[in-house]
Structure 1
Amino acid sequence: MGRMRRMGLPLLALAAGLALPSSALADEIACPARVDASAFATEAKLLQLAERQQSFGVRPTGSQSQKDYIDWLEAEMSAIPGIRTSSLNYDIDRYESVTTGLTAGGASVPVAAPVPFARSTGAAGVTAPVVYLASGTNITAANAAGKIVVRDLPTLSVPNALFFPPLLGWAVHDPGLTIPLLGSESLEAPAQSNADIAAASAAGAVGVLMVSQLPHAQVEGMYAPYEGLPQALPAAYLGVDQGQQLKDALAARTLASATLTVDARWTPTTTRTLLATLPGGEAKKIVVESHTDGTSALWDNGPLSMIEMARYLATLPVECRPRTIQFAFTTGHLYQHLTGPDVREGGAGQLAAILDREYDEGKVAGVLVVEHLGARQYDAVARPGGLPGRQLVVNRSLSQLLWLPVTDGWPLRDMVKAAIQDRDVRRTAMLTGLDGADVTRVPHHCSFGGEGTPYVQHLLPTIAAIAAPKTLFLASFGTEAIDFGLMRRGTLAFTDMVMRMGTMSQADIAGDMTFMREQRARGARGCS
């Protein structure tokens, strides 16, 4: 029937007195199987986009800087022929820090950043005795009540072996053999602030100071954790030197009290997810997604890759875009409880719920999430001159390991592996997920590490790129944290994936997701 319809088109056109060029016929078009790199954005173009993104500054959810950035993205996408845009709007109370400060021993101590959503002290601040409680020491009423608690940020160590078969990995692209199987990657964990602030509040403390192992200049503007819920106490981050200053004064018994100021406010505002749709031969869509809130050009540069994906794909005849492609620029990544305190999902979770329903209606083929492409590797090394802590130094011979979870199904995984190898997107670990498998639930893996997580939890066929560079939460790092050659190769690879998903059967894209959705319909346990 499809062949008969294509043959009938010229006759209908002639009957209407129209001249339909023969190139419009699918049979006479040689559709590319991969992107023509010579017709794609250059490294210089990606750098130009990243510098424009960086010019908006830090983009907390609902901030004017995020709104301006989304408006710019919409203008860029709307200028592409064939693209139509729409939005999903959300009402939130935006958190804004007005002033953050610390005075100890009569002297001002530089503060790197407030902990996001920390309780406001007002302009006067809170004055109390100070206590240092080392990691591993429980925060209790006996040692913390009525005090400002000084606490070190912990360091997490992640073994490389996790990302190889037979654990979480199913393939690794590392031609230079730079990922030692018995090695590990370590990074500070600012998410621990949530637990320490909650424990300090329960113990009756009046404030918390989280101390990094990095110097002030590198942690200034740190933004994590980002639940979107009010913290129970005023809290702030300190660089290693400022933290050591407090610890030394406490050890010498020369510091009696300090004044912590976190003057902040909550303001009703709106934020939105931008959708930009490029029609294809059929309405069933491939969704390409990344978020718009972040601190830097690296967090997140996915939207920049999406602009260039769209520009290239829009140049192809519609016959070479068998499926519609929807670019989703989500909000709420830095405000995970976007719709209220009971559900942690962000804008990605909201969109995933919509796509879940549409999938059952035959409107969705799959989802591809693009984050942190071209992230440079930074090493935490000893500071010179015997200074305390460590500092981040770029490792110009390596890129940050890219984690690439893909939902169960070998046709989809084989396609992803081929695209990564073809474009030489090193160093990439292709994974089943980023948590332990549990075959008694659907899906078996509930975490894809970032924006991809809600989509796999909603049992949508998903490809989700994510990296965890040490610079991720730090506003002090800009475009220098991106290898634009690698970012370009990654963008080419993911555009190749979109093109190939356009010609794959739905069964091959879905893989085991089809069976898991049937299990869910019969009452199987999902992710909590």
Structure 2
Amino acid sequence: MNRRFDSTKLPSREQVWSWQRRVDEYGPRLTGNAAHRQMIDELEVELKQMGLQTYRDRHHFTKWEAKQWRLSVLAEGDREEEVPVSFYYPYSGSTPAEGITGELVYCGKGPGRFRDAAGKIAVVEVSSPRLPSALFCKRRASDPVHERIPRILSNSVISSVLRGPKLEQAAAAGVLGIICIWRDLSEANARAQYLPFTTGPQQCPALWVGKEAGSRLKQLAKQGARARLLLEADSEERAESDTLYAVLPGRNEQETVIINTHTDGPNACEENGAVGLLAMAGYFSSLPLAERGRSMVFVFVTGHFQIPQFGIHGQATTRWLHDHPELWDGKEGHARAVAGLTLEHLGCLEWKDHQEGGKVAYRATGRLEMELVYTGNPMMDELYREALEGRTKVRSITLRPKSTIYFGEGQPLYMAGIPTVSLIPAPDYLCATGEAGGLDKLDAEFMYEQIMTFVKLALAVDATPVERLGKTQAPAKGMIGLLVKE
């Protein structure tokens, strides 16, 4: 392994954590909102102060922002009893300021049956499918060696995509609105989950509730009770959001290493990959040109939380690849990307639902969240595992993709044939807004060591001849051809 790593050139732990605290202070950075724009602006300032040339791609999209949401059951004498709401369904639609009123009708488990729900408010249960992990990936290696991927996977992001209601079908059936019930999550785990984020603007306003409220609503639906659903939202056509990128020249400008993440996200960990990219940019920009073999391209894409409007048949980075072939495809005098490194969800601690005294409690397990790391071929896997040397906090499993399934923004690089290493942990609170996904669920030292690993990895990649870095390994054969975006 390349031994040139100099810890004195990496921004300090204090500096990295101050950047992370700033990410938390912005609040939810939903695609194109004020907080998201501010983050991108400040990232650019940091990069320029490091001496990097920055560039922006401006994109236009339809932006949807929820303003207020509420659910109540109508009782005798026009009395209304408020029902606790876990959160709103992003980009689902909006109601008038007074909300919509209608009879509740139970439409089964998601995606729901809406034939009897015209002019009514549908109630749909969303279960958490228990899927064999073998469907999604093949394990390459682990550190510590005893770590294994759970045999069965269950995740709220996947649940919302696979088992959530089909809003376009509901709207076509004349449904006024939908109440989605989290069947298998504790109330605390379900709170403020910004899910799903894989659908574009819809025309059927929907809210999420926990299983306790959901159980009551199911009973009320059987009794023909009426409810009022409020989801006020602003919609702006041709809203703007920027992808930011910077090129750090190396001696060989015809070969590039792409280092990417996204900038939009609802909490402190989703997405804090930009902190890792800043630290890496700080390290490599401090090196003289003579010590940088290949050019590095740092890409901070927008649109991960509105993939249907930004991506091209895949994650948001597909748009950037489409727009900038000169930096990666190796054709007609273009530079060739010899590797792609993706950082997402840094420093995460593990939180899980647990049965305690007949009730389900959502709490920290005392463990690090599992570092799921896609490695695009055996050589990239070897370089990553060597870069783990010296870690005091590590719980890393490297994965070979199966079929077309590759979670996160490393997927477009892999599908473009670029050898990849992509860090993509998936904590239960990944998409929870506010305090449900705050700094209390991150470990500063763990985060710093993850960044240090990727600096070492980038150094090793830079020192490895292109023929040894190899090509993207064909995906392992999977049992399904499902592409889940995250």
Query: TM-score interval w.r.t. the shorter chain?
Result: 0.7 to 0.9
Distance 1:195 1:352, change over 3 A: farther
Task: Provide TM-score, normalisation by structure 1.
Answer: 0.80
Tell me the equivalent position of 1:233: 204
Note the residue ranges of structure 1 that are not aligned, 5 or more in a row.
Answer: 1-30, 437-445, 517-526
Inter-CA distance 353–463: structure 2 relative to 1 (3 Å threshold): farther
Number of corresponding residues? 461
Q: Which residue pairs with 2:368 in the alignment?
A: 399
The residue that corresponds to 1:152 in the other structure is 125
CA contact (8 A) 1:359 1:365 kept: no
Instruction: Tell me which residue corresponds to 1:470.
Output: 428
Residue of structure 2 equivalent to 1:18: none
Match of 1:482 in 2: 442
Distance 1:45 1:158, change over 3 A: farther
For residue 464 of structure 1, what is the amino acid of its counterpart?
Answer: S
Instruction: Confirm or deny that 1:139 pairs with 2:113.
Output: yes
Q: CA separation in 1, counterparts of 2:197 and 2:259?
A: 23
Query: TM-score, length-normalised on structure 2?
Result: 0.86
Tell me, yes or no, if the aligned pair for 2:315 and 2:412 is still in contact at 8 Å. no
Identify the residue that residue 246 of structure 1 maps to in structure 2: 217
1:491 matched to 2:457? The reply is: no
SS of residue paired to 2:305: coil
C-alpha separation in 1, matches of 2:192 and 2:87: 5
Question: How high is the sequence identity, in percent, across the aligned residues?
Answer: 24
- List aligned pairs for 1:167-178, cutoff 5 A: 168-175=138-145, 177-178=146-147
For 1:221 and 1:455, the matched residues in 2 are separated by 31
Does 2:22 align with 1:52? Answer: yes
Does 2:63 align with 1:104? no
Q: Write the letter of the residue equivalent to 2:6.
A: D
Aligned position for 2:320: 351
Deviations 1:214-264 (A, max 9, x none): 45555443212223522231111113333233234446x3x6111111222
Alignment CA distance shift 1:375-1:33 (3 Å): same
- Aligned partners of 1:201, 1:383: CA distance in 2, in Å? 40
Write the deviation string for residues 287-334 of structure 1: whole angstroms up to 9, x where unpaired: 110100001111011100111111122222222111111111110001
Q: Could you tell me which residue of structure 2 aligns to residue 442 of structure 1?
A: none
- Structure 2 residue runs of 5 or longer lacking an equivalent are 75-79, 476-482
In structure 1, the partner of 2:340 is 367
Name the aligned partner's letter for residue 413 of structure 1: D
Please give the secondary structure, in 2, of the residue aligned with 1:313. helix
Question: Cα RMSD over matched residues?
Answer: 2.8
Contact 1:118 1:233 in 2 (8 A): yes
1:180-229 deviation digits (Å, cap 9, x = unpaired): x7743432222246544344335442211112244555544321222352
Deviation of 1:91 after TM superposition, in Å, equals 1.1
Residue 100 of structure 2 is matched in structure 1 by: 126
Distance 1:34 1:371, change over 3 A: farther
Indicate if the aligned counterparts of 2:268 and 2:439 stay in contact, CA closer than 8 A.
yes
Q: How does 1:427-506 map to 2 (within 5 A)?
A: 427-433=395-401, 435-436=402-403, 446-475=404-433, 476-506=436-466
Q: Structure 1 residue 492: deviation in Å?
A: 0.7
Q: Whole-Å Cα distance in 2 between the matches of residues 228 and 272 of structure 1?
A: 20
Q: Which amino acid aligns with 1:500?
A: A
Q: Is the 8 A contact 1:161 1:182 kept in 2?
A: no
Q: How does 1:378-389 map to 2 (within 5 A)?
A: 378-382=351-355
Deviation at 1:369? Answer: 0.7
More strand by share: 2
Q: 1:311 to 1:461 in 2, by over 3 A?
A: same
Describe the superposition over 1:469-508 as per-residue Cα deviations: whole angstroms up to 9, x where unpaired: 1000101220111122221111111111111111111222
Q: Could you tell me how far apart the structure 2 residues matched to 1:150 and 1:42 are? A: 51
Partner residue in 1 for 2:290? 319
Alpha-carbon distance change, 137 to 473 in structure 1, aligned in 2, over 3 angstroms = closer
Q: What letter corresponds to residue 146 of structure 1 in structure 2?
A: G
Partner of 2:479: none
- Take 1:130 and 1:225, find their aligned partners in 2: how far apart are those partners? 23
Judging changes above 3 Å, is the alpha-carbon distance between structure 1 residues 355 and 448 closer, same or farther for their aligned structure 2 residues? farther
Q: Which amino acid aligns with 1:423?
A: R
Task: Please give the secondary structure, in 2, of the residue aligned with 1:168.
Answer: strand
Return the alpha-carbon distance in structure 2 between the equivalents of residues 450 and 41 of structure 1: 26
